[in-house]
């Protein structure tokens, strides 16, 4: 059996990988090795590893990394801990290939460990740009450590090739997060309100805001600007999802807690909504607000506008439902006004695929022969 190691460090990422994990687990020709780390194991973020087990997936190894601090030193220490943990696990369990998604610090640690252990890497969502965050450099670094590439668009395929990867190893399969939209039975309004624990209002906004990690200490000021504008909205349900474990993420989490405590009639917050509640919420929103990649990839499928604040997602491909704005009160205010007049009845073309990414990835994984660790740089000649 081919041993497929899949890494997950957050509930959001697990939601994206769910159908791939399920596909590997149920395939008689494949053996699933599931490595769980990061926010999944932290009480601060809900110990979401329990949900993975409730879904029926055996966790092969938990890789501990301390997430108590969101300073640069704290993040570096957690990455070092994860690097040692992943290397020890790979040396013992010897997966044939390691599957990584995206660009988070724990993903970077897993990639380094696989490289040191002589294990090929298959990477999802390479070639993308997020010029406001250090995720951008991490993503491209993982690409250079990887041997098989599953990208979301043709533009991203060409960028991975531009980074020197052999064209035959780069596969345009679409964004794996769209699979959930096609496969899950989403909640209706009544069931959603029960799941949220509160009624929706005449207007509703879903807010997810992460630190812009290539800027110096802007998280608090930018999020305060957003809260100032949200305070002006009338008869509006504000649904906050908290940021991930990036540097300065705790600052935003504390701001959310304080705001919700003083606006309990209109605002509610979740450490994580989970995939089903999150996707079920989107169709009932006037807009999704913040700077999450989901606002650019999954949300547009529902013809719901995204107010994309600041530079965190700068460079990523965007469809016509994305409204960019500066992280200033006036910029956010004008973008929200534009979102309120958005025509949801129009069908808008989106760049991220057809929602059948999992099947494509599984087919390619199974038909790909043993990958050589010795890579040849592909030069693009003029």
Q: Which residue has the higher pLDDT, 269 or 248?
A: 269
**Residue 167, pLDDT above cutoff 90:** yes
Output phi, psi for 28, to 5 deg.
-65, -15
Strand arrangement, sheet containing 30-37: 61-63, 30-37, 2-8, 97-101, 121-124, 148-151, 170-172
Closest CA to 111 of 142, 155, 73, 70: 142
Contact of 151 with 127, CB cutoff 8 Å: yes
Give the model's pLDDT for residue 1: 87
Distance CA 149, CA 219 (A): 33
Closest CA to 99 of 10, 1, 3: 3
User: Which of 28-37, 63-72, 365-374 shows the highest mean pLDDT?
Assistant: 28-37
Burial of 336 from C-beta contacts in 10 A (0-12 / 13-18 / 19+): buried
Give the model's pLDDT for residue 102: 94
**Residue 72, pLDDT above cutoff 80:** yes
All domains in the chain, ordered by first residue = 2-177+355-367 (3.40.50.2000), 188-340 (3.40.50.2000)
Output phi, psi for 373, to 5 deg.
-75, -15
Give the model's pLDDT for residue 348: 84
Give the model's pLDDT for residue 282: 97
pLDDT digits over 175-185, tens only? 999 999 999 99
- Average model confidence (pLDDT) across the chain: 95
Mean pLDDT, residues 96-118 taken together = 97
**Residue 382, pLDDT above cutoff 80:** no
Mean pLDDT, residues 143-164 taken together = 98
Q: pLDDT grade, residue 195 (50/70/90)?
A: very high
Q: pLDDT grade, residue 272 (50/70/90)?
A: confident
Distance CA 146, CA 154 (A): 18
Mean pLDDT, residues 145-164 taken together = 97
105-117 and 72-93 helices, crossing angle to 10°: 40
Distance CA 49, CA 14 (A): 10
**Residue 364, pLDDT above cutoff 80:** yes
Give the model's pLDDT for residue 38: 94
pLDDT digits over 300-333, tens only? 999 999 999 999 999 999 999 999 999 999 999 9
Q: pLDDT grade, residue 145 (50/70/90)?
A: very high
Distance CA 326, CA 339 (A): 15
**Residue 248, pLDDT above cutoff 90:** no
**Residue 56, pLDDT above cutoff 90:** yes
Q: pLDDT grade, residue 69 (50/70/90)?
A: confident
Determine what percent of the chain is predicted with pLDDT higher than 90.
87
- Among 25-34, 250-259, 344-353, the range scoring the smallest mean pLDDT is 344-353
Mean pLDDT, residues 87-101 taken together = 98
């Amino acid at each position: 059996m081919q041993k497929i190691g899949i890494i997950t460090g957050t509930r959001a990422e697990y939601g994206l990988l769910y159908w791939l994990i399920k596909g590997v687990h149920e395939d008689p020709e494949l053996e699933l090795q599931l490595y769980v780390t990061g926010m999944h194991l932290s009480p601060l973020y809900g110990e979401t590893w329990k949900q993975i087990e409730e879904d029926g997936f055996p966790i092969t190894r938990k890789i501990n990394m301390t997430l108590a601090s969101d300073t640069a030193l704290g993040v570096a220490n957690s990455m070092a801990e994860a690097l040692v943990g992943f290397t020890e696990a790979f040396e013992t369990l010897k997966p044939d290939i390691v599957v990584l998604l995206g660009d988070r610090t724990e993903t970077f640690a897993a990639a380094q460990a696989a490289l040191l252990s002589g294990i090929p890497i298959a990477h999802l969502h390479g070639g993308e740009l997020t010029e406001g965050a250090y995720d951008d450099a991490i993503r491209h670094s993982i690409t250079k450590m990887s041997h098989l590439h599953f990208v979301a668009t043709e533009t991203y395929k060409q960028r991975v090739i531009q980074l020197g990867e052999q064209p035959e190893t780069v596969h345009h399969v679409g964004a794996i997060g769209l699979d959930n939209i096609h496969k899950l039975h989403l909640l209706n309004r009544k069931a959603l309100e029960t799941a949220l624990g509160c009624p929706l209002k005449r207007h509703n906004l879903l807010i997810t805001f992460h630190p812009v990690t290539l800027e110096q200490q802007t998280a608090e000021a930018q999020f305060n600007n957003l809260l100032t504008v949200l305070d002006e909205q009338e008869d509006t349900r504000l649904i906050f999802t908290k940021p991930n474990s990036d540097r300065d993420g705790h600052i935003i989490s504390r701001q959310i807690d304080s705001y919700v405590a003083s606006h309990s009639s209109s605002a509610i917050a979740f450490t994580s909504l989970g995939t089903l509640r999150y996707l079920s919420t989107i169709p009932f929103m006037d807009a999704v607000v913040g700077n999450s990649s989901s606002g650019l990839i999954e949300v547009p499928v529902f013809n719901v506008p995204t107010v994309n604040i600041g530079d965190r997602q700068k460079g990523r491909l965007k469809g016509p439902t994305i409204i960019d704005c500066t992280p200033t009160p006036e910029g956010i205010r004008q973008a929200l006004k534009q979102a309120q007049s958005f025509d949801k009845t129009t069908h808008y073309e989106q760049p991220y695929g057809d929602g059948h990414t999992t099947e494509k990835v599984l087919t390619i994984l199974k038909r790909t022969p043993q990958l050589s660790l010795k890579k040849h740089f592909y030069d693009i000649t003029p």
